[in-house]
Amino acid sequence: MYREEVPLYGDLVKIVHNINAVTLEDAISKTSAADTVALRASAEWLTLERHGANRLGIPYELQIVKRIFAVLGMYPIGYYDLSASGLPIHATCFRPKHTASLDWNPFRVFTTLFRPELLVSKDAREQALALLEQRRIFTDTLLDLLNTAGEQDAQLDHEQAEAFVPEALLSFSWRSVAAAAFDQYRLLREEHPILADIACLQSAHINHLRSLNQTPDPFPILQCRGHFGVICQMIQGMPIAFLGYH
């Protein structure tokens, strides 16, 4: 879904995978034959996507997203107060919590929730809350399936799961039409850019995924610049103290 919405992400994944393949072959050439199998298995595991992120606006949305992820075997782990970075949000990470599940798939979704009490502008706060209270990012079918899962120990049978996945994806997919007028968007953006991204959209869209580069060399950055022309000049995300895997 995300590659269809952001084709350049697919290009980035290809670049990173090619770089990782070269890095792997270089490592294999320097190791014993006995360790080659383990090295290849480790490299394959490292190519799995580990991190995505989305943004929620009100506690109700977080409650429903928690139920969605529970069906997928993902649970809230950790708490992050991002006001330390000047952001009006706090967050948790949804991921599997058992070692066997993490070995199978270590993917996590960094999920943030808007904190209206941190806004300076009363007008921006009231406008953001009004927009968020109006939007509906979960379909009735999805909510019905979540109620069914709640009666079945957070589980769905095969037929129910087949219906569940596309309905859940709608909550995280990009919508091309905004939920706000331009004047509303401008008011919220002037208060904080991330506020506009949260309140002016019709879904809790996945705002980024992260592929894992296995080499510390600057060459991947140069390749990305050569392919994409312009890349982000500033590291974004959690404060450095939060960067450990939780």
| CA 168 to chain centroid | 14
- In this prediction, residue 245 carries a pLDDT of 43
Length of the chain: 246
Q: How many angstroms separate the CA atoms of 146 and 133, rounded?
A: 21
- Identify how many contiguous H helices and E strands the chain contains and give both numbers: 11, 5
| Domains contained in the chain, CATH given | 50-211 (3.10.180.80)
Token pair listed for 107:
């993917």
Which H or E element spans position 207? Answer: strand 206-210
Q: Identify residue 40 by its one-letter amino acid code.
A: R
- In this prediction, residue 108 carries a pLDDT of 87
Whether the Cβ atoms of residue 119 and residue 193 lie closer than 8 Å to each other: no
Q: In order along the chain (246 residues), what is the average pLDDT of each group of 10 residues? A: 63 75 77 74 71 91 96 94 92 91 84 95 96 94 97 94 95 84 94 91 76 60 55 53 44
Which H or E element spans position 55? Answer: strand 51-56
Q: How many angstroms separate the CA atoms of 11 and 227, rounded?
A: 9
- In this prediction, residue 16 carries a pLDDT of 75
- In this prediction, residue 105 carries a pLDDT of 80
- In this prediction, residue 165 carries a pLDDT of 95
Strand 89-95 and strand 75-81: the pairing is antiparallel
Q: Is 71 helix (H, G, I), strand (E, B) or coil?
A: helix
- Quote the crossing angle between the two packed helices 140-150 and 59-71, to the nearest 10°: 60
